[in-house]
Amino acid sequence: MRDIFSEIFENQPLDPTESARRGARPRLRKRFYRHAAAGERTEHGYPVLLDGKPVYTPGRRALAAPTRALAERIAQEWDAQEGEIDPARMPLTRLANAVIDAVAEKPKAVAAEIEKYLTSDLIFYRADTPEGLVARQTQHWDPVLAWARDTLGARFVLGAGVLHVKQPDDAIAAARAAIPHEAWRLGALSSITALTGSALLALALAAGALDAEAAWAAAHVDEDWQMQQWGRDELALARRAFAYAELQAAAEVLRLM
């Protein structure tokens, strides 16, 4: 059974647009179970069960969540599969696999990667023209900087263009202190940071200062501005829809923890 789960989630081109670019359709396994559910608590947490049998991660660990609510949401992803099991439509399960197989093993390394974003965060670097883009960056990004200042005690420095701006050590230290240690919250935060390009957006979302939609909009201010000027990029939007589902899954983990 464990080999089945490895086959489902390993070496699959998850992004549908990437699969199309390669001209290859992922090989999907037929649904082999009738019902998915969360089981009773074990030493690993609340397990996800398929017809009463445990699910395993690609690393051959039990797929189990620290709260029943989260385990039930993961089980719902499995129940929603029709005919074939498509990992591209299972962002919570994929994030759970990453947390259990990777983040829990090396939490300090994951936290260090998040911290790196604090030295060159997306929202530090501002355009000086055109006026409309400047206003949009100010609208979406300044409240996050104000939150970091007032809540975390982190005062960051802004720069124009792409030239690196050294951030104060005390600001980085203050924001770093807000990075969680618990594996599931840390994994969710890491995912949001990578998806948005901003550790501050991720921290604000984790703290409830932003919701997923606001964080996503803030992460795409520049791209949305370019599309407004030059027209829609349908391929980019398709990729964004896939990535947004990833961010929503991470936000769901934070909410259900």
Question: Using 50, 70 and 90 to split pLDDT, how confident is the model at 69?
Answer: very high
Residue 102 lies in a domain: no
Question: Using 50, 70 and 90 to split pLDDT, how confident is the model at 2?
Answer: low
Predicted TM-score (pTM) of this structure:
0.91
Copy the structure tokens of residue 22.
Answer: 């390669």
Same domain, 137 and 247: yes
Same domain, 236 and 128: yes
Residues 6 or more apart whose Cβ sits within 8 Å of residue 130: none
Dihedral class, residue 163 (left if φ above 0, else alpha if ψ from -120 to 50, else beta): beta
Same domain, 196 and 75: no
Task: Give the mean model confidence (pLDDT) for residues 155-175.
Answer: 93
Same domain, 84 and 113: no
Give the pLDDT confidence score for residue 215 in this predicted structure: 98
Q: pLDDT tens digit string along 99-148?
A: 999 999 999 999 999 999 999 999 999 999 999 999 999 999 999 999 99
Give the pLDDT confidence score for residue 144 in this predicted structure: 98
Is the model's pLDDT at 50 over the cut of 60? yes
Q: pLDDT tens digit string along 185-224?
A: 999 999 999 999 999 999 999 999 999 999 999 999 999 9
Domain with residue 226: its CATH number is 1.10.3580.10
Same domain, 156 and 68: no
Residue 99 lies in a domain: no
Same domain, 137 and 230: yes
Q: How far apart are CA 234 and CA 227, in angstroms?
A: 10
Cis peptide before 130 (omega within 30 of 0): yes
Same domain, 160 and 38: no
Range of the domain at 51: 2-88
Residue 118 lies in a domain: yes
| Total count of domains within the chain | 2
Is the model's pLDDT at 28 over the cut of 80? yes
Same domain, 111 and 74: no
Task: Give the mean model confidence (pLDDT) for residues 228-242.
Answer: 84
Residue 100 lies in a domain: no
Contact 106, 174 (CB under 8 A): no
Q: What's at 205, amino acid-wise?
A: L
Give the pLDDT confidence score for residue 236 in this predicted structure: 79
Give the pLDDT confidence score for residue 148 in this predicted structure: 98
Residue 93 lies in a domain: no
Query: Interior CA angle at 6 toward 3 and 10, to 5°?
Result: 150
Q: How far apart are CA 98 and CA 96, in angstroms?
A: 5
Same domain, 31 and 153: no
Residue 219 lies in a domain: yes
Same domain, 176 and 212: yes
DSSP codes, 168-195:
PHHHHHHHHTTS--SHHHHHHHHHHHHH
Copy the structure tokens of residue 36.
Answer: 């998915």
Same domain, 112 and 84: no
Residue 210 lies in a domain: yes
Is the model's pLDDT at 11 over the cut of 80? no
Q: How far apart are CA 121 and CA 156, in angstroms?
A: 10
Residue 135 lies in a domain: yes
